[in-house]
Amino acid sequence: MKTKRHGAVLGLIAAGALLLTACGSDNNTPAGGAAQTAGESSTPVECGGKSKLSAEGSSAQKNAIDTFIQSYQQRCSGSDLAYNASGSGAGVKQFIAAQVDFGGSDSPLSDSKGEVAGAAERCQGNPAWHLPLVFGPVAIGYKLDGVTDLTLTGEVAAKIFNGTVKKWNDPAVAALNSGASLPDKDIKVVYRSDESGTTDNFQKYLTAASKGAWTQGDGKQFKGGVGEGKEKSAGVAQAAGSVDGAITYVELSFAQDNKLSLAKIDNGAGAVELNAESVGKAIDGATVKGSGNDLVLDLNSIYGSSAAGAYPLLLATYEIVCSKGYDADTAKAVKAFLTVAATDGQAGLADAGYAPLPKAFQDKLLTAIKAIA
């Protein structure tokens, strides 16, 4: 898990638009479990079934999953989950191959790549559902000696990440940072070399926000054509943190761990700092475009938004599960873990660099989790 210092950025989210899970009284006994201790959610959890679940995928949510596991072990004695943070692409593949009980991905299953059909086949002919359990801002993190205050637009960010803007003192960067002493130094792009939902979301943001400057498209593979690739979130953050002049896109907690400076983003309504208030405003604007209990989010309206004070670059990590098709023991354990993650587990997310679930999403999630069979 991440240290408490991440709470300095996101620890006040509960005071804004987001609502943390309500705590229940300590005399409530959830179905299938022991009596609650103080601080547990009032939501009943039916513990039991498979004693050790397996999951794989998004490295962006790894620290959130660690938090969920701790809550799961506390709420359901003797139960556990093994999570392999191999990246979203690998998580989807392993889920479809029935090698894990659920997958973690920062982007929805692709119909054109056959992932939707493959997941349905793995689920005994039933559709897979996307459950957005983890929200987190994506930082444009950089290391540049002498420069700790930097503003970028979607357009200029796109030009940096596709190689059109090559120098830190390029006029396009200088125009957004009047008074800053920008060095005549090469910009060194660091990108994710493995398949990554973070890359997919970042490229979707560039497509929506760059006024046509990003023509490379989106997807889990970086398409900018410049820079140095590193595996996983930790890899890109470590690489960028070790080279003066480097820039990357990475989840907030990893940027903080490697002491990267965080660029402000001007979406047309002024420069927006990545903080609790700006993240909360962005998440409040997210809508569901999936049907029924398949909670796929429409983030394009956020990426291209010019709403004042909203930080427009974030991702939602989905747990990809079978709506039906599990054996009874696996279904019971999956439902128990996800219920705990959506309730008790949310309380520790701000300290790990994430944003707790808005109440509206929490309610939708619990309805979907309950319907898994």
196 is in an annotated binding site: yes
15 is in an annotated binding site: no
Two tokens, residue 324: 């039906």
59 is in an annotated binding site: yes
181 is in an annotated binding site: no
51 is in an annotated binding site: no
Residue 182 near residue 147 (C-beta atoms within 8 A)? yes
CB atoms within 10 A of CB 371: 13
Question: DSSP secondary-structure letter at 217?
Answer: -
Q: Which helix (H) or strand (E) holds 357?
A: none
58 is in an annotated binding site: yes
- What is the 3-state composition of the chain as percent helix, strand, coil, each rounded to the nearest 5? 35, 20, 45
Two tokens, residue 325: 């098709």
Distance from first CA to last CA of the chain, Å, rounded?
A: 31
**Ramachandran class of 179: left when φ > 0, alpha when ψ lies in -120 to 50, beta otherwise:** left
309/267 Cα distance (integer angstroms): 9
Long-range pairs of 108-115 with CB within 8 A, sequence gap ≥ 24:
108/290, 108/296, 108/318, 109/320
Question: DSSP secondary-structure letter at 58?
Answer: -
Residues in binding site: 58-60, 88, 106, 196-198
Residues in binding site for phosphate: 58-60, 88, 106, 196-198
